[in-house]
Amino acid sequence: MNGEEWRPVVEWEGRYEVSSEGRVRSLRYRFGIRPTPKILTPVLVSGYPRVHLRSSSSSKSIFIHHMVLSAFDGPRPRGCETRHLNGVRTDNRPCNLRWGTPKEQGRDRLAHGTQPRGSKHGRSKITENIAAMIRLARTSGEPVSRLAMRYGLSESTVFRIVAGTLWATAEP
C-alpha cells in the first residue's frame, strides 16, 4: 500500500508492527535470520478485527484499533476508549481513530446508527408500534395501571413511554 507507515506494536517491539492502514505484521526471527515480514490475518470479534500475538513467554489477543492508537497517538488516557470516527469498526487507520470518553463513544454510536435502539435493543419488551399504541391509549384516558398490565410493563415504564423519555425517537 502506497505511503503505508509501520510502527512497533507497544510492548511487542521487535516482534510485531502495526501500519497506518491498520495492518499488523510479524517480524519473527528464525535461527537468527529475519525472514520477510508476515501480514497477520485478523479475526472479527463483535465486528472489530483482532490478532493473536505470541512470544516465547506470553501470548495475547489484541484489537487492532488499540494497537494503532497506541503506536500512532500514544498510550490510552485513563477512562478512555477507542472511537471510530466514521463508525466503521474495521477502518483502523489512525485518521479514523481517537481516544475518547464513554460519553463521546455513546454520541458516536447514536450519530452512526450503531447504538441498538427501540425493538433492535436486545432487552426490548415491546415494539415501536406498541409504544405508539400506549401513547394513543393514554391520550384517550386509559389508566396507566391497565396499560401496564396489558403490555406486561411496569407503570413507571408506561409513564416514561408517554412522556417520551423511552421510545422517544422510535417511529411506528
Whether 136 and 92 map to the same domain: the answer is: no
Q: Check residue 171 and give its pLDDT.
A: 43
Q: Is the pTM of this model over 0.85?
A: no
pLDDT > 60? residue 139: yes
Q: Which domain holds residue 148?
A: 118-163
Q: Per the structure block, which three cell numbers stand in for 80?
A: 478512555
Whether 106 and 122 map to the same domain: the answer is: no
- The model's confidence at residue 90, banded by pLDDT at 50, 70 and 90, is very high
Residue 172 lies in a domain: no
By the 8 A CB rule, do 22 and 72 touch?
no
71 sits in the region (left: phi over 0; alpha: psi -120 to 50; else beta) called: alpha
- The model's confidence at residue 110, banded by pLDDT at 50, 70 and 90, is confident
Residue 129 lies in a domain: yes
Number of domains in the chain: 2
Whether 73 and 131 map to the same domain: the answer is: no
Q: Check residue 130 and give its pLDDT.
A: 82
Measured at the alpha carbon of residue 69, what is the angle toward residues 65 and 71, in degrees to the nearest 5?
115
Whether 68 and 128 map to the same domain: the answer is: no
Q: What is the CATH number of the domain that holds 15?
A: 3.90.75.20
pLDDT > 90? residue 166: no
Instruction: Match 502506497 to its residue by C-alpha cell.
Output: 2
Query: What average pLDDT does the structure give for the chain?
Result: 85
Q: Check residue 170 and give its pLDDT.
A: 41
